[in-house]
């Protein structure tokens, strides 16, 4: 039994009638890792997660969890637990009974299951809210109870469907730190679906970018950011300028570009369309003479040494070694 | 709201358009038309001993209420009341069972779901007297005796079942499917899911359907009159009395049954509101 991988997808497809939502994807998620499935809406990331959870039948292919083929098993027997996008806490049960629900279904006695549920509420710092109903909790608190309810199943793999999308931006950053800490402490694999590249970059050990039912690139966030394989990835990850190079498209990180004068190195000229002050950095967007838009992300000190404004002509320069060649499409 | 032009002295006046007063007038007339006759009946049911079925009031008394339970002309009122309660209870239970099952079933499109849906709708628009007539005729044709818990029950169900189904559509619409998926994920069997998640969450709506079906059955006349057989329900009994007897006792019956209805509605409302108060906030926040 191969347990180097917690989750393995072997050419998994999902078909709805004649449309392919997921097209023969293969993926191996190493043990105890934080994996983010990332992509624009409709790319198949949620469908993939739901197939792993067992809430969606697999049209073709196999899914293995710690080396065991679970493609045909009921959700509860897969060793997975799912946290739903809207948390799906049962509105008629208090926090304690929500968390104890799976134990009750297994016929565990009241005293024992409540003791266990209290322990898991404690794990997410919600012990004081045991008697509250979901309606009496904030979004962040509901999220924690949902987490405790999933973790009490002692899953090998925790599946999270856009867990942060219902939270406000400040809370989102705080909660994602907690998620990462919990994953490290529990030593289990988290598979987290998101459409936010910030979230994926901050959390993931392994980032999987999907589009149109295919995996376009997977790897560590740093690999993906530094070596996007295609213009789609470079644009989706953001902070990249996608231009055409001598042999196919190239990507140059916006923070490696400067405004300057044409010299020996590569350059592109155009006209400035917008200047955004972002605190530590200033983003200067321009329309290049060649057509595509481009931007320079420069330290505020460099920008204010020689400020420019919308409408000014400008030349974007970068070092040859910072240009990253990609494949077409 | 500023509609245009400078407002006087800088203040924005909130003068209501004439249509507001016109429509308010229509509404008041409607309310008077709806509640006026009922108020008159409630008032006249306390008519004095020597008074009649019209104004003026000749003193005030409760003799007409006592008359209801006295042996004599009104002897059938208490027994027909208990018949109506029994029939309405059975109708209500059957309607809930089938409407809840159908409501849950209709969440998914299935082959023929459209046809089944329109067949159900059709029975709501069918003329009620004709439905009763048809059922009565059918029973006679087959040589069966019409009675309360056979033909009359069936006739009332043709009315309450589609009503219950429609009400359940509204109830089920607000049900978040991921509650069920979460239950499955947490290891609930299909039965456990229904017992511990689906039904408890739908309960306020289900109580509403039960009450609705009960009320529809309790005051049903047109379908029941030709299918009830020899033993009358309360509405049929009252109707018979209206054509034969004229005394304020009829008004007293009206007052009493209305009071009973309001009591039942009030108790249910309190129950349902209590349940919903704890929950709606959750579904609003999350959904």
Q: Digits of tens for pLDDT over chain A (329 positions)? A: 556 899 999 999 999 988 999 999 999 999 999 999 999 998 999 999 999 999 999 999 999 999 999 999 999 999 999 999 889 999 999 999 999 999 999 999 999 999 999 999 999 999 999 999 998 898 889 999 999 999 999 999 999 999 998 888 888 999 999 999 999 999 999 999 999 999 999 999 999 999 999 999 999 999 999 999 999 999 999 899 998 877 889 999 999 998 888 878 888 889 999 999 999 999 999 998 888 889 999 999 988 988 888 989 989 889 888 888 888 76
Q: In chain B, which residues have their Cβ closer than 8 Å to the Cβ of A86?
A: 176, 178, 286-287
Q: B19 in a domain, yes or no? A: no
**pTM strictly above 0.90:** no
Q: B145 in a domain, yes or no? A: yes
Residue B151 lies in domain: 73-246
> Closest-CA residue in chain B for A146?
B182
Residues in chain B, overall count = 287
H or E stretch at B94: helix B76-105
Q: B279 in a domain, yes or no? A: no
Distance from CA of A85 to the nearest CA of B (A): 9
Specify whether the CB–CB gap between A275 and A309 falls below 8 A: yes
Beta bridge partners of A245: A248
Distance, first Cα to last Cα, chain A? 39
Complete DSSP assignment for B149-204? IIIIHHHHHHHHHHHHHHHHHHHHHT--HHHHHHHHHTT--HHHHIIIIIHHHHHH
What residues contact residue A76 under an 8 Å CB cut-off, 6+ apart? A102, A153, B184, B185, B186, B187
Q: B239 in a domain, yes or no? A: yes
Using CB atoms within 10 Å of the CB of residue B156, give its burial: 0 to 12 exposed, 13 to 18 middle, 19+ buried: buried
Q: Show the CA angle centred on residue A77, arms to residues A43 and A36, nearest 5°.
A: 30
For the sheet containing A157-161, what is the strand order?
Answer: A80-83, A157-161, A189-194, A34-38, A206-211, A214-219
CA distances from residue A95 to A92, A121, A126, A161, B281 in whole angstroms, order as listed: 10, 8, 9, 20, 15
Q: B274 in a domain, yes or no? A: no
**Per-residue pLDDT, B219:** 85
Q: B260 in a domain, yes or no? A: no
Indicate the Cα dihedral angle B126, B131, B132, B138, nearest 10°: 180
Give the domain CATH number at B239.
1.10.3720.10
Does residue B189 belong to the interface with chain A, where contact is any CB pair within 8 Å? yes
CA distances from residue B195 to A267, A279, B211 in whole angstroms, order as listed: 68, 56, 21
Cβ-defined contact of A142 to B285 (cutoff 8 Å) = yes
Specify whether the CB–CB gap between A12 and A62 falls below 8 A: yes
Is B241 a residue whose pLDDT tops 90?
no
**Alpha carbons B40 and A121: distance in angstroms, whole number:** 61
**Alpha carbons B195 and A223: distance in angstroms, whole number:** 49
**Alpha carbons B190 and A305: distance in angstroms, whole number:** 69
Cβ-defined contact of A88 to B179 (cutoff 8 Å) = yes
Specify whether the CB–CB gap between A37 and A48 falls below 8 A: yes
ipTM attached to this prediction: 0.86
Does residue A154 belong to the interface with chain B, where contact is any CB pair within 8 Å? no
Q: In chain A, which residues have their Cβ closer than 8 Å to the Cβ of B196?
A: 101, 104-105
> Closest-CA residue in chain B for A159?
B185
Q: B259 in a domain, yes or no? A: no
> Closest-CA residue in chain B for A102?
B186
Q: B142 in a domain, yes or no? A: yes
Q: How many structural domains compose chain B?
A: 1
């Amino acid at each position: 039994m191969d347990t180097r991988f917690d989750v393995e997808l072997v050419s998994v497809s999902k078909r709805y009638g004649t449309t392919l939502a997921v097209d023969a994807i293969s993926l191996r998620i190493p043990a105890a890792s934080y994996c983010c499935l990332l992509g624009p809406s409709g790319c198949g990331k949620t469908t993939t997660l739901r197939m792993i959870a067992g809430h969606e039948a697999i049209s073709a292919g196999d899914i293995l969890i710690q080396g065991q083929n679970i493609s045909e098993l009921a959700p509860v027997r897969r060793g997975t637990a799912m946290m739903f996008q809207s948390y799906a806490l049962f509105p008629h049960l208090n926090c304690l009974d929500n968390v104890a629900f799976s134990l009750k279904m297994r016929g565990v006695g009241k005293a024992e299951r409540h003791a266990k549920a209290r322990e898991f509420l404690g794990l997410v710092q919600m012990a004081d809210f045991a008697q509250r109903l979901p309606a009496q909790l904030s979004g962040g608190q509901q999220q924690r109870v949902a987490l405790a309810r999933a973790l009490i199943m002692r899953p090998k793999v925790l599946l999270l469907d856009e867990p942060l999308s219902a939270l406000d931006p400040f809370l989102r950053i705080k909660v994602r730190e907690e998620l990462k800490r919990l994953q490290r402490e529990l030593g289990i694999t988290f598979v987290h679906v998101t459409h936010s590249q910030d979230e994926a970059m901050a959390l993931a050990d392994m980032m999987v970018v999907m589009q149109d039912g295919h995996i376009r690139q997977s790897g560590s966030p740093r690999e993906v950011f530094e070596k996007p394989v295609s213009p789609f990835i470079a644009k989706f990850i953001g902070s990249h300028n996608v231009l055409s190079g001598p042999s196919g498209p190239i990507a140059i990180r916006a923070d490696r570009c400067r405004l300057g004068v044409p010299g020996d190195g590569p350059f592109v000229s155009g006209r400035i369309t917008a200047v955004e002050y972002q605190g530590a950095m200033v983003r200067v967007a321009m329309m290049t003479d060649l057509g595509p838009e481009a931007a320079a992300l420069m330290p505020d000190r460099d920008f204010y040494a020689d400020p420019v404004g919308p409408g000014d002509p400008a030349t974007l320069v970068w070092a040859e070694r910072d240009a990253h060649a990609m494949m077409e499409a | 709201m500023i509609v245009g032009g400078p407002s006087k002295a800088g203040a924005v006046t909130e003068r209501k358009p004439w249509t507001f007063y016109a429509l308010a007038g229509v509404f008041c007339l409607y309310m008077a038309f709806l509640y006026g006759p009922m108020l008159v009946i409630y008032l006249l049911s306390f008519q004095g001993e020597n008074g009649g079925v019209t104004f003026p009031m000749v003193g005030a008394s409760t003799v007409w209420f006592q008359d209801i339970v006295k042996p004599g002309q009104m002897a059938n009122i208490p027994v027909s009341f208990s018949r109506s309660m029994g029939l309405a209870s059975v109708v209500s239970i059957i309607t809930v069972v089938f409407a809840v099952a159908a409501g849950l079933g209709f969440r998914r499109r299935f082959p023929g779901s459209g046809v089944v849906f329109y067949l159900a709708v059709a029975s709501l628009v069918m003329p009620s007297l004709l439905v009763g007539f048809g059922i009565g005729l059918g029973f006679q044709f087959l040589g069966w005796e019409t009675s309360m818990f056979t033909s009359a029950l069936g006739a009332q169900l043709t009315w309450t079942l589609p009503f219950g189904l429609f009400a359940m559509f509204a109830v089920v619409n607000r049900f978040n499917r991921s509650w069920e998926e979460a239950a499955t994920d947490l290891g609930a069997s299909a039965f456990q899911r229904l017992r511990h998640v689906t039904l408890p969450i739908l309960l306020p709506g289900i109580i509403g359907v039960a009450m609705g079906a009960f009320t529809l059955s309790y005051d049903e006349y047109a379908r029941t009159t030709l299918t009830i057989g020899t033993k009358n329900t309360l509405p049929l009994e009252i109707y018979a009395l209206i054509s034969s007897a004229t005394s304020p006792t009829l008004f007293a019956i009206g007052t009493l049954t209305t009071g009973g209805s309001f009591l039942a509605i009030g108790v249910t409302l309190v129950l349902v509101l209590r349940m919903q108060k704890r929950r709606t906030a959750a579904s609003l926040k999350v959904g």
